């Protein structure tokens, strides 16, 4: 089983030391969050809270994922990097293909793209992107990414994106894994059809096991039941060894340790964060790592 530390909401000036610590204590990878802007006025549309409000504020740092990954890749040796989740349909896929391929090249294949459809329509509005067609744009963007990542001469003529025969370099030495985030029916169907894996939002153990069964069913229905497919899970509440062991036995590939804001509060020192990940490594990773 893989162990991932969520770095969303982490103070920007602590990211380097936190990542180095995560690698040192045994984490396999870290997760980077994604938003472009904070809106003073915003619809309460966050899908994973009762009141529709997200777990961040105007003071939360949201550095660009790919800039951070490039920086952290230079100070680590084996740590993997996964966006959790990057709002893919908000961007043009050619630009995303360039950023991800470059990051994967300089990080020697330690980069994974975790992508979601997005929930904050205000970000789409200010960038002039239609929020209501984001699902179809998402699917087409995946096709564009996979073409450009080959480094071969390719072309694309779709509903949202159109370009003649082109090549993109550098070429990643190995395919960039693309994981689909979200627990809506549409997200699960997209993961089953198009993803190399699935990223869960926070779920109970029972919900997580039910979702795993549903994903297996969906993948079988689309003829992908035997393909390699990874699942990375976030369980609600403090980490419980027995619950994580049940996920491991059920075939889950990775689990996520909560962001620091959820575990030790919205503001913490590096020393507090270091103690937090060291405690998880001692009580969880050391007992479940295979």
Taking the C-alpha atoms of residue 165 and residue 183, their distance in angstroms, rounded to an integer, is: 36
Residue 47 clears pLDDT 90, i.e. is over it:
no
> In this predicted model, what pLDDT tens digit does every residue of 131-149 receive, in sequence order?
999 999 999 999 999 999 9
Taking the C-alpha atoms of residue 289 and residue 139, their distance in angstroms, rounded to an integer, is: 35
pTM over cut 0.75: yes
> In this predicted model, what pLDDT tens digit does every residue of 136-189 receive, in sequence order?
999 999 999 999 999 999 999 999 999 999 999 999 989 999 999 999 999 999
Q: Which residues pair with 84 in a beta bridge?
A: none
Instruction: Express as a percent the part of the chain with pLDDT over 90.
Output: 91
Residue 76 clears pLDDT 70, i.e. is over it:
yes
Taking the C-alpha atoms of residue 129 and residue 126, their distance in angstroms, rounded to an integer, is: 8
Taking the C-alpha atoms of residue 102 and residue 27, their distance in angstroms, rounded to an integer, is: 24
Residue written as token pair 């072309």: 155
| The pLDDT of residue 49 | 87
Residue 121 clears pLDDT 80, i.e. is over it:
yes
| The pLDDT of residue 50 | 85
Burial of 208 (0-12, 13-18, 19+ CB in 10 A): buried
The chain-wide mean pLDDT, for the chain, equals: 96
> In this predicted model, what pLDDT tens digit does every residue of 256-285 receive, in sequence order?
999 999 999 888 999 999 999 999 999 999
- Cα separations (Å) of 75 from 33, 39, 266, 287? 19, 33, 26, 27
> In this predicted model, what pLDDT tens digit does every residue of 56-66 receive, in sequence order?
888 999 999 99
- Cα separations (Å) of 29 from 54, 229, 232? 24, 18, 11
Least confident of 15-19, 24-28, 48-52, 84-88: 48-52
Taking the C-alpha atoms of residue 120 and residue 125, their distance in angstroms, rounded to an integer, is: 9
| The pLDDT of residue 266 | 87
Confidence of residue 290 (pLDDT cuts 50, 70, 90): low
């Amino acid at each position: 089983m893989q162990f991932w530390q969520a770095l969303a909401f982490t103070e920007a000036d602590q990211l380097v030391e936190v990542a180095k610590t995560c690698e040192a204590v045994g984490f396999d990878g870290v997760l980077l969050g994604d938003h472009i802007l904070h809106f003073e006025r915003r619809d309460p549309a966050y899908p994973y809270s009762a009141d529709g409000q997200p777990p961040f504020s105007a003071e939360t740092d949201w550095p660009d994922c790919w800039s951070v990954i490039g920086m952290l890749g230079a100070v680590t040796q084996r740590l993997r990097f996964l966006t959790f989740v990057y709002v893919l349909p908000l961007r043009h896929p050619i630009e995303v293909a360039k950023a991800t391929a470059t990051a994967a090249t300089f990080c020697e294949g330690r980069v994974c793209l975790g992508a979601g459809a997005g929930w904050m329509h205000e970000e789409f509005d200010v960038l002039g992107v239609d929020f209501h067609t984001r699902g179809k744009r998402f699917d087409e963007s995946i096709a564009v990414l996979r073409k450009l990542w080959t480094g071969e001469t390719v072309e694309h003529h779709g509903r949202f994106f159109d370009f003649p025969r082109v090549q993109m370099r550098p070429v990643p030495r190995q395919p960039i894994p693309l994981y689909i985030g979200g627990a809506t029916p549409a997200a699960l169907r997209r993961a089953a059809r198009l993803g190399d894996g699935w990223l869960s939002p926070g779920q109970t153990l029972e919900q997580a096991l039910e979702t795993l069964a549903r994903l297996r069913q969906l993948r079988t229905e689309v003829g992908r039941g035997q393909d390699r497919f990874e699942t990375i899970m976030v369980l609600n509440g403090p980490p419980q060894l027995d619950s994580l062991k049940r996920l491991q036995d059920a075939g889950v590939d990775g689990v996520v340790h909560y962001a620091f804001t959820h575990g030790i509060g919205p503001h913490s020192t590096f020393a507090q964060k270091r103690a937090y990940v060291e405690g998880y490594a001692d009580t969880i990773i050391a007992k479940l790592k295979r």
